[in-house]
A = this chain, B = another copy of it.
Amino acid sequence: MALIVQKFGGTSVGNPDRIKNVARRVAKYRAKGDQVVVVVSAMSGVTDNLIKMAKEIMPIPNEREMDMLLATGEQTTIALTAIALHALDIPATSMTGAQAGIVTDDVHTKAKIKNISPKLVHEMLDAGNVVIVAGFQGQTIAGQITTLGRGGSDLTAIALAAALKADLCQIYTDVDGVYTADPRIVKTARHLPEISYDEMLELAGLGAKVMQSRSVEFAKKFGVVFEVRSSLNDNPGTIVKEETLSMEGVVIRGVSLDKNQAKVTLVAVPDQPGVAGHIFKAIADANINVDMIVQNISHKADKPSTDISFTVDKPELLKTQKVIEALKTKIGFSDVIADEKIGKLSIVGVGMRSHPGVAAKMFETLATEGVNIGMISTSEIKISVIIDLAKGEQAMCAVHEAFLGK
């Protein structure tokens, strides 16, 4: 008897009929005698609608209240999913994040899981139930409802799989797993049967959309092998696990394009020690994640100053600008420029480590396409560039062709 954690996203539970499909899939595993824990997201559209109502009332609503509000989305789905299993004569019980023992810190809308005490989950499983847990949410020690931020339901599933020592963790989504590039953009993209945590991590952090990086980080940390697969068919998915030797034979695993970033540039920042620290401390204090940072020194001898650029998630842009504006008199930069029309194009592969010249080949390919590079950032197994959003897809196809075209 295996213990399986299955996670279904918002599209898979988008309406009562789809929830019935999810129940039928769960029933198949259960018929084999497996214990099943199901983690579900809010029905697609529900979270956006709640956010829309809140913003109609106040443009930047309080984050504790947003958690109170958004947690209802997943709570709705767990109840409906339990009912759908009952309709198939399968004993099932729903649990909120709090009831499943998911304890988080108190950083509302972006809480981190501190620990999981799945006593009740075990009890209910042992009593013969399928247990349906609300993804994306938890509770602080003080009993406040929190949410885990974007991709939080994946994180719930992987963290539960770790805490329950599950035999298998399946992340159901609307694609068959991970591809060398988004098949909707790059027609020649190929399905990957397996991928290392590190590669998945870089892809996840880069807007490959399949999963958020924190879930993959968590899986890597706790050695949770998981499968990303489609809820629409029975095709095998992509297994995400520790790197193997054979993975290094391939230079580039995939190409991704992140359209969800915005670039902020502070113009003519006084070139003094401590200024950058001051800026990014203020941003971190507001719980905004900064991705890339670039600083260019300008050599005006009389009044040394510099431009500092960085990227944040688009939804954080307004909040970021408020934080920055508040620093203006104190720091004394001349202007703030925000640019939402950017894309971050990245290539990822553990094989990159042992193959020199990968960056050069990428930059040449972009030059041939007439694509200007705005910012560059590299890691051991990744190269990212910020380019004009309008040329993003064209650049992505060209780079995919250069590295992965048969």
* Chain A residues within 8 Å of B, Cβ to Cβ: 16-17, 19-20, 50, 53-54, 56-58, 61-62, 64-66, 68-69, 71-73, 75-76, 78-80, 82-84, 86-87, 93-94, 96, 99, 143, 145
Contacts and interface: CB of A to CB of B under 8 A. Distances in A.
A50 B73 CA distance: 12
A143 B97 CA distance: 12
Nearest to A58: B87
A54 B85 CA distance: 12
Given A19-B57, A53-B16, A79 B86 contact: no
Given A58-B86, A61-B86, A53 B66 contact: no
A64 B79 CA distance: 9
A41 to B, nearest CB: 14
A72 B64 contact: no
A402 to B, nearest CB: 49
14 contacts: A16-B57, A19-B57, A54-B79, A57-B84, A58-B83, A58-B84, A62-B82, A64-B93, A65-B79, A65-B86, A68-B75, A69-B76, A72-B75, A75-B75
Contacts of A16: 53, 56-57
Contacts of A96: 68, 145
A401 to B, nearest CB: 46
Contacts of A99: 143
Contacts of A80: 53-54, 57, 65, 69
The residue in A53, A61, A65, A79 that gathers the most chain B C-beta atoms within 10 A of its C-beta is A79
Given A53-B80, A68-B82, A72-B73, 19 more contacts: A16-B53, A19-B57, A20-B57, A54-B80, A54-B83, A57-B80, A58-B83, A58-B84, A58-B86, A62-B82, A65-B80, A65-B83, A65-B86, A68-B75, A68-B78, A69-B79, A69-B80, A72-B72, A72-B76
B71 A75 contact: yes
A79 B56 contact: no
A1 to B, nearest CB: 25
Contacts of A83: 54, 57-58, 61-62, 65, 69
A236 to B, nearest CB: 29
Given A16-B56, A53-B16, A66 B84 contact: no
A84 B57 CA distance: 6
Contacts of A78: 68
A103 to B, nearest CB: 14
Contacts of A56: 16-17
Nearest to A43: B53
Contacts of A93: 64
Contacts of A65: 79-80, 82-83, 86, 94
A19 B54 CA distance: 10
A68 B58 contact: no
Contacts of A72: 72-73, 75-76
Nearest to A16: B56
A286 to B, nearest CB: 17
A30 to B, nearest CB: 17
A350 to B, nearest CB: 44
Nearest to A69: B79
A328 B195 CA distance: 63
A86 B73 CA distance: 22
Contacts of A68: 75, 78-79, 82, 94, 96
